Amino acid sequence: MTATTEQNDPALSGLSKSIRELYCQFYRHYMRGTADSYGRKPMPQWDGGQDSFGKRFQPVWPKIARFCLENSVEPGALLASVFGRARGARPPQPTHLASTTVLQQVRMLEQESIRIKKNEFNSTATAVRTLFLELRNAKRGSEVWCMQTAISGAQADIVLRYCLARIERLDALAAQYLPQAVEVYLFNRRIYDLAWEDIIPEELRTLSTQILQRITEGSRHV
């Protein structure tokens, strides 16, 4: 994928930047205070560009971003898996992230994430219903207003709030949540689909699939 393609694709560009920042955070933590400025300046060998010796590099972050998208891997889980298993004085390099071995390690951790998401749905749905009834019984507003307020106030995943808004047919509220929900869902599709298969609206699946196809098609024109 060319730099131009990445810049023109907000999903890939945004994810690439997020992965870079996450990697630098993990790196600095791993080095225990001895590399607190790591990543503050451009890193041509990873960011792309020309180093002080005149050698040119392609950026590594878009490749890692595509790996995450195509395998439905959350970047934080990917980095946590790699750095959590690292030993020795040197932290893992970005080139270690997009591999089959790392993917297998992440899959092993996913089962716990799926369990947590299932529990989150049950507890959030209960909390929303409880608040809705309290607001309605107190005659604070119309039933639509009460449900909107209950969902908006839920301390929950943006994808879950979007799904609840769709379930309750609160289209305006769902539309408000949709852009961020698509971004979060896109990077965690596998976990969401396994945990909340029956409540994920088709609109969310379709939009994320379209974005992924665009990114995948773009990556073929390197």
pLDDT, average across residues 24-49: 93
Among candidate residues 64, 98, 132, the one where a domain is terminated: 98
Kindly state whether residues 142 and 119 are assigned to the same domain: yes
Classify residue 104: in a domain, yes or no: no
Mean pLDDT calculated for residue range 119-123: 93
Q: Write out the residue range of the structural domain in which residue 16 sits.
A: 3-98
- The model's pLDDT over 17-36, given as tens digits with 9 standing for 90+, comes to 989 998 999 999 999 888 89
Residue 124 sits in the same domain as residue 72: no
Predicted confidence (pLDDT) per residue in 55-105, tens digit:
999 999 999 999 998 888 888 889 988 998 898 889 999 999 999 999 998
> Which has the closest alpha carbon to 82: 14, 33, 6, 19?
19
Task: Give mean pLDDT, residues 147-167.
Answer: 94
Asked whether residue 28 is assigned to any structural domain, the reply reads yes
Alpha-carbon torsion (100, 101, 104, 110), positive or negative: negative
Question: What tokens does 57 get?
Answer: 């590099």
Q: How many domains are contained in the chain?
A: 2
